[in-house]
Amino acid sequence: MFADDAVMFRFNAQRNVWEAASLLRRRRWLRVLTASALVILIGLILKGVGLIFLYAAHPQLDLQSRRFAERAVDDLDVDWNENALFVRASPAFSVNRSPLVDAQFSELQGIGPGQRSEDCVGSSSIDPGALLSQVTASYACAIHLNSMPAVVVLSMAREAGSWKIVGIYVSTPLRP
């Protein structure tokens, strides 16, 4: 290895002279480049370890998301009060509240209360490349509205350790 005061000689063709150049400057860039690569490598390793733990927790996330969806649908279809939805909604969903949601809930209130007829069907998923939420879930829950079948579809995301509703769809009741 070179000492800290080591120099290198190079020929400058424009000036037609030999010049001394410090090797210390070159080694600093090499150190910065090596340190940057090391930081990136450590970051990738930590992300990989985090994803391993996240995938190991996937069955538990499925169970938690299914329970959340079933409780949400049970509370929603009792009287179709949209406040039961917005209590469980993500902040982005609540802030961007659409008048269509109010209109749909008014229509559902006119039909009457519903009752979930069976367990919700769906699952959670893990997206390591997602920017906002790496863990999401989607469930479809069959309900009965005055003896007419309908479906409530919930889209959810795990935010700050708890499930939040990010989307909802309620089908129009189908006449038997």
Tokens of 80: 């179709």
User: pLDDT of 96-142, one tens digit each?
Assistant: 877 887 788 888 887 778 877 678 899 888 776 665 667 889 999 98
CB contact set of 61 (below 8 Å; sequence gap of 6+) = 124, 126, 135, 137, 158
Domain that holds residue 37: 7-55
Residue 176 lies in a domain: no
86 and 46, same domain (yes or no): no
45 and 29, same domain (yes or no): yes
How many residues does the structure list for the chain?
176
User: pLDDT of 21-52, one tens digit each?
Assistant: 765 556 677 788 888 999 999 888 887 776 67
pLDDT of residue 14: 85
Contact criterion met (CB below 8 Å) for 168 and 98 = no
How many domains, in total, are found in the chain? 2
pLDDT of residue 146: 77
pTM above 0.75, yes or no: no
